Amino acid sequence: MARYAEKLHIVPLLAPAASTAGGGVKSYAVRLANSQWISFLVNWGAMTSDDDSMVISVESTTAVGNSTAAGDTVIPFVYRLSGVPGTDDNWGDATATTSSVSVVGTGDNMALLIDVDPATIPALDSDALTIRVIVDGGDNATNYATSVTALIEDRYPQAEHISAST
């Protein structure tokens, strides 16, 4: 049995997909109810050019899956940006943002680790049931693949996890 099997619930939320303009790509959502702590690992490949950028945000919602609800709320989070694979295994400093992080085209083939404390969500969005990641490449960055994986610390760790995704 793997060491993380009971303490860390790993859930793929977005298979590698190209971002699109007009709201971007939304990952599937993670339920807040049984989560002690939620981290998201966002990976992406090469962007179209150095002039491209993508905006990554986290939102709380009452919707399930990757659909939209009227009261969706962009929430603050803390993130760390990885180094370039094969050349730098250091992660950047933990940085707090109130809404989103923008990654420019020079950030090809990297990862972003996002931390969200589920206990802070009710003060920001009292109706929220879930949270998810949105990746928006605008009109430019369309040639890279982006994936999102949730790393969840369950409130009640066990060998068979309670379903966390919607």
Residues contacting 125, CB < 8 A, separation 6+: 60, 61, 71, 73, 75
Q: What is the mean pLDDT of the chain?
A: 82
Ranges 1-5, 57-61, 104-108, most confident: 57-61
Q: Which pLDDT band holds residue 19 (cuts at 50, 70, 90)?
A: low
Among the listed residues 165, 139, 137, 155, the one whose alpha carbon sits nearest the alpha carbon of residue 7? 155
Burial class from Cβ neighbours inside 10 Å (0-12, 13-18, 19+) for residue 156 reads exposed
Q: What is the pLDDT of residue 15?
A: 87
Integer angstrom CA distances of residue 84 from 4, 12, 92, 164: 26, 22, 11, 31
24-63 confidence digits (pLDDT tens): 788 999 999 888 999 999 998 877 665 667 889 999 999 8
Q: Does residue 21 surpass a pLDDT of 90? A: no
What domains can you pick out in the chain, each with its CATH number?
9-154 (2.60.120)
